[in-house]
Amino acid sequence: MPQDDKKGRLGTEITKDLTIPQLFGESAARYGKERVAMREKEFGIWRPITWHDYLENVKYLALGLISLGLKDGDKVAMIGDNRPEGLWSEMAALCARGVAVWLFQESLVEEVKYIVDHSDTKFLFGEGQEEVDKAISIFDECPKLEKVIWDDPKGMRNYDQDYLISFKEVQALGRELDKKKPGLFEDTINKGHGGEVALLFYTSGTTAQPKGALLSHYNLLSMGKNLMSIDPCFDTDDFVSYLPFAWIGEQMMSISCGLQIGFTINFPEEPETAQENIREIGPHVMFAPPRLYEQMTRTVQVKYLDASWIKRKIFELGTKIGYHVADLKFQKKSVPWYWQCLRWFAYCTLQKKLKDHLGLSRVRYAYSGGAAMGPDHFRFFHALGVNLKQIYGQTEIAGICVTHRDGDIKFDTVGLPISETEVKITEEGEIISKSPSVFLGYYKNPEATKETLRDGWLYSGDRGFIDEDDHLVVFDRSKDVMTLRDGRPFSPQYLETRLKFSPYLRDAWVVGDKRDFVVAVTCIDYPVVGKWADEKKLNYTSYPELSQKPEVYDLVEKQIRQANKDLPEVARVRRFVNLYKEFDPDDDELTRTRKLRRAFVEERYDDIVEALYSDAEVVHVDTTITYEDGRKSHIKTDLHIQRVAGD
C-alpha cells in the first residue's frame, strides 16, 4: 500500500500501535494556541477554543478521573447535548485509559438505567439538572456507578448527594494531581495500543434491547483514514457537530476523522438552533441521517408553496434544469455547453440562494447514512448542485464501509467499498463485510458475537446485491423485506421514503408482507398540514382532530397516488389510515436514531392493521403514550380508513 494511504492528513501514520489519546496529543502539540479546535455558540456569540485549550481541559479532567479512582478499562458514560464539555469528557475518559459510553440525551430513565447498569459504568457525566435527576433515580439500581459529574450549575444549588461532583471540581483534582505527579498525563496517554477498547457503543435496538459493541482505537482510526483517503478534508475545514454523540455517525466525523484532519468542530447554541447555526458556519463537510435531508427538502417545498407566482416559476425552471444536469451526471454523460449555460442560470437565480439558506453553500461532501434515503430526496439535492453521497455501514464497523465516489454516483446504490474493505453477498442475499474497522464483539453477549462475527466477516443482517458497476445496492433489513402477493420481494423502506418526499407527511409505515395488498399508516406533518388547513379555513384544535379531517385524508391520498406511480400494481398502497400522533422514540416506536421499530409498531397497532385489511371504515383506538419525563397519557379516538382511488 502506498505510504500516503497509511497516514491521516496530518501525516501521522495510522498503525495498530496508535491510540486515539496519542493522536490527540500529537494534534494538540502541532496546532497549540495557533489554531481553533472547536467553537461553541453561547449567548449569540461564537466562542473559539484553541487546540491548547482543548488539551488543557482534557488533561485536568483525565487526571481528575484518575484521582477519583478510574482504573484501566473502567467505563465512563456521558449524556448531554453536543458541547465542548461532552467531547472533553469522552477524550478525558480515553486519555485516562477508560472506555467511553454515550447515551442519547432524550433517553428515558429506563433506557439510561439499562445502559449504565449493563455497561458497568463507574462514572457518569451529566450535562445539567435534567441528566442528574435521571442519574439520581437510577443510582441505587446500578451497583458499579460511583460518581455523577455535572457541568451546568443551573438548578443544582440544593443537590447535596455525596456522589455528585462538579466538572470544575474534577478538573481541580486533576490540577492537584498534576502538581504531585508532573508528567503523569503524558505517561498515561502514551500507554497502550490500538487494539484496546476505546468505545462501548450501543446499537439502536430496532428489535430488542440495544447491544453494546466494543470498538477499538484502531477500528475507529482506520475507518477515518480510509474515508479520508477517498474524500480528503483539510485542517482549514469547518464541521458542525449537532447529531448526538451516541450515534456512531457523529463519532465517525468528530473523533475518527476530526483528530486525523484537525478541522474545526462547531457546536450549535441549542439543538433547536442547529439549522440556523449550520447556515452561519457554512460547513465544508456534513454528515446526517436521511431525516435531516428530508426536513431540508420539506422546508424548501413549504417555501415553494408559500411563494409568489413568479418565484414558483423560477423554482420550477431551476429545478427542471438541475434535474436534467444531475441525470446526465448520474449516467456519466458529458453536459453540453448549452446545458452548462442553463445550469449557470439556475445557480444564479435559484441554487445559490437555496443552498445558502440550507447552510450548504460551502459543502464539498455531504453524506447521508444510518437509514435508507429515497431516490426522490437524493435526486433533489443533486438537482440543487449539492454533492450528496450515500454511505453504508453500521456501529459494528465503526460507522462506514461503503460510499459513493465523485463522478460515480448512482442514486439507487450506496457506492463502492472504502479502502481496505471487502464486501460480499452470501447465498441467502445477506451483505457481509471485512475490514480493519470490524468491531471486537458485543459486551457480555458471546452468542450475538458468534452470530454476527464469523471468520473475520461481519454479517450485517441486511439484504442486498452488487450491480453491474460493482456498486452495492442495499435492499432492506432481511427481516423487514416483504413478500408481495405475486411472490416477489419488496422493500417497505423504499415506498416509505417515497411517501415522505411529500411535505405533508412526516412519517409512513408500510405493511403488506404475504398479504393480498399493501396498506400504509401515515403521520402528517402537523405544522405544514396545519398551515394548509388554515388557508382552507378548516377548524381544528389538535393533531388528532386535524389528522382525521376528510379534507386532510384527501390531501394524503393525493400524496399516496403520487408515490404509487411507476410501482408494480401489487406494490401500490391500496388503503391507508392517518395516525392520531407522530411516531415517537419515547413510545418505543422509533429508535433514538429515529429508525422505525417495525416489530414493536406491528404489535402495538395490530388492531389498526387488521382493520385496514377488513371492510371496516373506522377503527377505534384506546392506548397510552409516554412522554420523555415518564408521564403517560391515555388516548381514546376513532381513526378513519380510506381507500386509494384508482387502486
* Run of H or E residues at 197: strand 197-202
String of DSSP letters for 373-387: --HHHHHHHHHTT--
Gap between the Cα atoms of 644 and 519, Å rounded: 10
Residue 456: band (very low, low, confident or very high) from pLDDT cuts 50, 70, 90: very high
Average pLDDT for the chain: 91
The CB density around residue 340, as the number of other CB atoms within 10 Å, is: 12
pLDDT digits over 145-169, tens only? 999 999 999 999 999 999 999 999 9
| CB hemisphere CA count around 198 (13 angstroms) | 29
What is the SS3 assignment for 539? coil
Set of cell numbers at residue 23: 493522536
Contact 152, 127 (CB under 8 A): yes
Whether 170 shows a pLDDT value over 80: the answer reads yes
User: What order do you get walking across the sheet with 285-288 strand by strand?
Assistant: 45-50, 36-42, 264-267, 238-240, 285-288, 365-368, 388-392, 402-403, 416-417
Gap between the Cα atoms of 591 and 585, Å rounded: 6
Whether 491 shows a pLDDT value over 70: the answer reads yes
Q: Report how far apart, in Å, the C-alpha atoms of 240 and of each of 174, 247, 258, 367 are.
A: 30, 15, 11, 13
Whether 521 shows a pLDDT value over 90: the answer reads yes
Residue 201 falls in which region: left (phi positive, over 0), alpha (psi -120 to 50) or beta: beta
Comparison of pLDDT for 418 and 7, the residue scoring more: 418
Residue 12: band (very low, low, confident or very high) from pLDDT cuts 50, 70, 90: confident
Gap between the Cα atoms of 642 and 550, Å rounded: 9
Q: Which residues contact 74 (CB under 8 A, 6 or more apart)?
A: 98, 99, 122, 123
Set of cell numbers at residue 508: 409512513
pLDDT digits over 546-596, tens only? 999 999 999 999 999 999 988 999 999 999 999 999 998 888 888 877 788
Helices (H) and strands (E) counted in the chain, each on its own, are: 23, 29
Q: Report how far apart, in Å, the C-alpha atoms of 261 and of each of 110, 221, 613 are.
A: 38, 11, 54
Whether 445 shows a pLDDT value over 60: the answer reads yes
Length of the chain counted residue by residue:
647
pLDDT digits over 292-330, tens only? 898 899 889 988 988 999 999 999 999 999 999 999 999
- The stretch 178-196 carries a mean pLDDT of 96
The reported pLDDT for the residue numbered 6 is 41
Gap between the Cα atoms of 353 and 208, Å rounded: 44
Contact 375, 566 (CB under 8 A): no
The reported pLDDT for the residue numbered 622 is 77
pLDDT digits over 50-89, tens only? 999 999 999 999 999 999 999 999 999 999 999 999 999 9
Which of 236-240, 487-491, 640-644 is predicted with the least confidence, judged by mean pLDDT?
487-491
Which of 151-155, 181-185, 389-393, 624-628 is predicted with the least confidence, judged by mean pLDDT?
624-628
**In 3D, which of 373, 424, 367 has the Cα closest to residue 399?**
367
In 45-174, the DSSP E strands lie at 45-50, 75-79, 99-103, 121-126, 147-150, 164-166
**Between the CA atoms of 92, 139, 137 and 91, what dihedral angle is there, to the nearest 10 degrees?**
10
Whether 444 shows a pLDDT value over 60: the answer reads yes
Gap between the Cα atoms of 314 and 349, Å rounded: 7
Residue 274: band (very low, low, confident or very high) from pLDDT cuts 50, 70, 90: confident
The reported pLDDT for the residue numbered 626 is 63
Gap between the Cα atoms of 568 and 467, Å rounded: 21
Residue 234: band (very low, low, confident or very high) from pLDDT cuts 50, 70, 90: very high
Whether 477 shows a pLDDT value over 90: the answer reads no
The reported pLDDT for the residue numbered 106 is 87
478-487 exposure pattern, b = at least 16 Cβ within 10 A, e = fewer: bebbbebeee
Residue 8: band (very low, low, confident or very high) from pLDDT cuts 50, 70, 90: very low
Angle between helices 51-67 and 20-31 (to 10 degrees): 140
pLDDT digits over 583-629, tens only? 988 888 888 777 888 888 999 999 999 999 998 899 988 777 665 55
Gap between the Cα atoms of 210 and 540, Å rounded: 39
The CB density around residue 45, as the number of other CB atoms within 10 Å, is: 9
Phi, psi of 137 (to 5 degrees): -70, -20
| Domains of the chain by start residue, with CATH | 20-184 (3.40.50.12780), 287-478 (3.40.50.12780), 481-643 (3.30.300.30)
